[in-house]
Structure formats: structure tokens, C-alpha cells
Chain A
Amino acid sequence: MLDFSLTCSDASSAVWGLLDFSIAPPLLFYAYIPIIVISLFLGGFVLIKEKFSLRSKLLFIVSIIFTSLLLNEILLWIAAPVSLVEFGWQLEPLFRILVAVFTVYFIYAFINKRDLPFTQKLILGTAYISVILLTPTTSNIVFFDLNNCEGIPGRLFDLTHLFEVVSMLWVAVITVKNSLQASMPKSEKYQNAFLGGAAVLFLLVFFASTFFGDVTKVYEIGLLGPVGMVTFMAFLTFIIVRYRAFNIKLIGAQALIVSLVVVIGSEFFFIQNTTNQILTAITLVITGFIGINLIRSVKKEVAQREHIEKLAGELQATNERQETLMHFVGHEVKGFLTKDAGAFAAISQGDFGQCDVNMKPFVERALVESRQGAASVENILKASNLKKGTVAYTKAPFDMKELVAEAVEKAKPAAGLKGLTLTFTADEGSYQMNGDKAQINDHVLRNLIDNSINYTPSGSVAVSLKRASTKIIFEVKDTGIGITDEDKKRLFTEGGHGKDSQTVNAHSTGYGLYIAKQITEAHNGTIRAESEGEGKGTTFFVELPVKPVS
């Protein structure tokens, strides 16, 4: 049979002989009840929204344990029978250690996006087992002090405080370790740092308030502990709104504010003290005002973000369709131009009988233009493939000096037609390197040399090779039209034309230098252009890494 006859000396007019609200400080209800409602609401809301993911389950468990702890705290203040108060005191370390254990578990799962390793679970489990085994013993509550109506804490409370400090450090280590990961996006790092920091703050306030409450025997200090949970929830709400953690949008912020207003408003039903009523009214008005503004701003931000995301999605889909179409058209046109070039070449070379003397210049001109057309289309297709990352590189050792010499030889007729002097010099040394010889030749060397010839109306084009200890430097210096500062910005961009480039070179696609840059970078090299300005010539530099000369 339950016997509740022994009550604390200060207990009076107990409800059903069990509960006495007279000695409970108003702060108990004012602070604890809203915190219970908010933490349960947020935990439950996230659980449903996240479809019972591991981290949402853990957050929900934290909020349930925290609620149990706060209800137990309320029980300690309002229970009249000594046996119930003693029972509440005995459960205190158990709830406290569970809050610490699951906060560590939640932070680990949230930040690392995976379950806690079993060894770490075992460490947390061992700490917890030691607490539950000692719960019914006098190591937990030494005896019950009837005068002050409180349990006298034993060594188990010290052990719990120690574990709270350990868990705080544990959370800090998880957070710091995560922030040192170089590969993680900045926004995710900030999000994790906010949450980890909030959890540390929560555990710190939680630990410090009860520790000092226990040490000084002023248990009202302990009432401040759950305020840490408010901080934690506030940070959690912030990262939900700011970084869209847990994938909760507007409804989360709206529901949170509404529940906060309802909870604070509901305090009027049980607060009797005029000062507290005024305080609650002021809090209610401030919360309502801030809440409305927060909802408005979140609503606006969410609407804008969704609109931008929708447009970005549509744009991406359109781009993909255009890319596919461009590829199809490009391949078709290249096929026709190649066939035309073949036909013009056959006519020009007399495969269908002697070509008419009057017709021959036109056929040769048509042949050159068909080839230029095919090369232009080829460039655009190549740039598109580079962008998609579908270009395969076949790397093998080759001699860069030989390759440059061949490229210069092949470009000499074009330079000769324009009356340009094309020279090639190379410093002493080995020019052996590893790379895709064909891609470097066609799209870097030839591209830069042809480019210089095309944009140099008169004067010279000087090609040179230099060998540094860890790199080969390829230079093409011309006395051409030069590059303005404005043009420099878009020189190596996709389809980037100089202001007058198409006036000088009508066949410029704007993809040549973009391709050269992509291929150079695929070989871990760099490419750049220097020019003192319009009409003052240009020098292109390509630096490709090689093994140091032994």
C-alpha cells in the first residue's frame, strides 16, 4: 500500500494529498512550461518533417528526456509526500546524464551525417550504466533532509557533473574537427558551428546552474538551467531558417512563433502575482511583435528563394536542351562541311577531270572556307565537351621541343601569306614531359600560334621555349593588335571575344583560348596573356609542370 502520510514541514493544503503549489517559485512555471512545450513541439515537428531520420529521432529523444527532467524538477517543487520528493531527487542524475549522452549523440549524427561508431556508443553506454546502477543506492541520495525538504546529493551527483563537463568537451571536439574539414562547403560549416556552439552553451548553462545550485544549496539557481535549452532551441530555429537545416521552411517559423505566443499567453491562467502578470504581458507583446516581423521576413525570403530556385531549375533545363540541340546541329553541320571540303579537294585536284582554270580559284577558296567552317564547329563542340567533362586525355611521355618545332613549321605558310616573320627559339635542356600530345598540339600550341598570326597584321611572331627546374614555359610573342584591359577579362572565357576580334579575324568563334585554358589546366599548367595595350602586341605564356631535372 502506498503511504503518503509523511510530508515536508512546509507543505500545506496539498491537492489530493499529493501536490502543493504554494512553495513553488513562479519562475518554475514561467520558465519550465514554455520550454517543455517549445522543445516538444520543435522535436516532434522536426521528427515528422524529416520522416523519422536518425538525427530527427535523436533530437526528439533529447526533447523527450529534457521534458522528463523538467517535469521531475516540477515534481520536486510541488510534491508534498516525502517519498515522492525523494524519488524525484533519485531520478535527477539519470535524466541529467541522458540529456548529456543524447546531446553528444545528436550533435555527432547531425554534423557527421552518420551514426555514432559503436565504440563511442559503448563509452556513452558505460557512463550511463554506472549511473543507473547507482540510482537506488545511497551514493545517489545520502539521506532526506526533512527540514529543507530535499535529498542530500551523494557522489553520483559529482560523477554526473563530471560527465556533463566531458560531454561538453566531446561536443566541442566534434564541432572543431568538423570545421577543419577543407572539403566542406562554408555554409555547412557555419551551420554545424552554430549548432555545436549552441549545444556546448546549452550543456554549460545546464551544468553550471545545477552545479552551483548543489554547491551553494540555493536550488533556485538550478531553475536557470533549462534557460540553456531555450538558447539551444533558438540556435536550432536560427539554423532551420538560415540554412534550411531539417528542410523546414516557413511553416516551421510560423508554428514556432504561434506556439510561443500561445504558451506565454497561457501563463495568465495560473500566474497570480501582479508583477509576473505585467512581465508576462510585456513578453507577450514583444514576442508577438518580433514574431510577426520574423514571419514576414522569412516568408519574403522563402518566396524569393523558391522563385530563384524555380528559375534556376528552368534555366538549367533550357541550357541542357540547348546544349543537346547545339551538339546535334554542330555534328550535322560539321559532317556536311567535311563532305563539302572533300568534294572541293577532289575537284581541285582533278579527280573528276581537269578543273577549269577560271573555276579553280573559286573551288580552292571554297575548300579553305569549308575547312575553316569545320574547324570552327569542331572548336565549339570541343568546348562543350570540355565543359561537360567528357574529354578523355591519353597521357604519355613526349618531347615538347619537337612538338613546338613541328607546330611552327606547319604555321609557316599562313605566316608567309601575311608577310609575317615566324621564328622559334628554345633554351638548352630537356623538354620531355608527360601529357596528351595531340590535345596540347592541336588546342594549345597551334591555337596560340594561329591566334598570334591571325591578330598580327604586320611584323613578327616569335615562339620560344624555356626550361625552369619544375616547368616548361612556352611563349608566343607577337607585334599584333594587342589586348585592352577590358578584353583581358574575357580572354579565356567560353565564347569570349575581344572588342575588335571579329573585325580582324572573321572566323573567330571565341572558343579557341577557352579550350587552350581547359587543356592546359587539365595538365596542371597555367596560361596567361600579357599586353601593354591596344596596338602594342601580345605575349601568351603557357607553363606546364614537369619533373625536376636530376
Chain B
Amino acid sequence: MDKKSKILLIVLILLTVLSIGYTFWKTVIQQDFEVSEEVPVKE
């Protein structure tokens, strides 16, 4: 694998870990998401 591809791979892995980590923290730990018991009318 060439150097440019390695950098791209590392960037993508880091972003993935950060994104999943942040989503887990926000959703499961902070419970920061909207919950509705009614299905809204679509736009």
C-alpha cells in the first residue's frame, strides 16, 4: 500500500472511531435523541 493510501486509511479509521464513539456517547450515554410516540406526517 502506498503512503497516500495509508494516510487515507488512517484518517478514515480515526473518523470512524470518533463518529461511532460520539454517536454512542450521545445516544446511549447522554440519551440525546428525540423520542416520539406519534408518527408525524411526512413533509
Contacts and interface: CB of A to CB of B under 8 A. Distances in A.
Given A115-B1, A125-B12, A128-B12, A147 B22 contact: no
Interface string A367-398: 00000000000000000000000000000000
Contacts, number: 77
B37 A147 contact: yes
Interface in B5-43: 5, 8, 11-12, 15-16, 19-20, 22-24, 26-29, 31, 33-40
B20 A135 contact: yes
Given A115-B1, A136-B26, A83 B20 contact: no
A147 B38 contact: yes
A86 interface: yes
A90 interface: yes
Interface string A1-28: 0110010000000000000000000000
Interface stretch (A137-145, A255-263, A429-437, A533-541): A137-145
A146 B37 contact: yes
Contact of A144 (B8, B11, B36): B36
Nearest to B33: A86
B1 to A, nearest CB: 7
A136 B23 contact: yes
A359 interface: no
B22 A136 contact: yes
Contacts of B31: 3, 6, 83
Nearest to B29: A2
A143 B19 contact: no
Given A2-B29, A118-B5, A129-B12, A90 B23 contact: yes
A94 B20 contact: yes
A129 B15 contact: yes
A87 B21 CA distance: 11
A132 interface: yes
Q: Name the residue in B2, B19, B27, B31 with the highest tally of chain A Cβ atoms < 10 Å from its Cβ.
A: B27
B7 to A, nearest CB: 10
Contacts of B34: 138, 142-144
A132 B39 contact: no
27 contacts: A2-B28, A6-B31, A82-B35, A84-B28, A87-B24, A91-B20, A94-B16, A115-B1, A115-B2, A118-B8, A122-B8, A125-B8, A125-B11, A129-B12, A135-B19, A136-B22, A136-B23, A143-B34, A143-B35, A143-B36, A144-B33, A144-B36, A145-B36, A146-B36, A146-B37, A147-B37, A152-B39
Interface of A: 2-3, 6, 82-84, 86-87, 90-91, 94, 115, 118, 121-122, 125, 128-129, 132-133, 135-136, 138, 141-148, 152
Given A118-B4, A118-B5, A144-B34, 17 more contacts: A2-B28, A2-B29, A3-B31, A6-B35, A83-B31, A84-B28, A86-B27, A94-B20, A133-B19, A136-B23, A136-B26, A136-B27, A143-B35, A143-B36, A143-B40, A144-B35, A147-B38
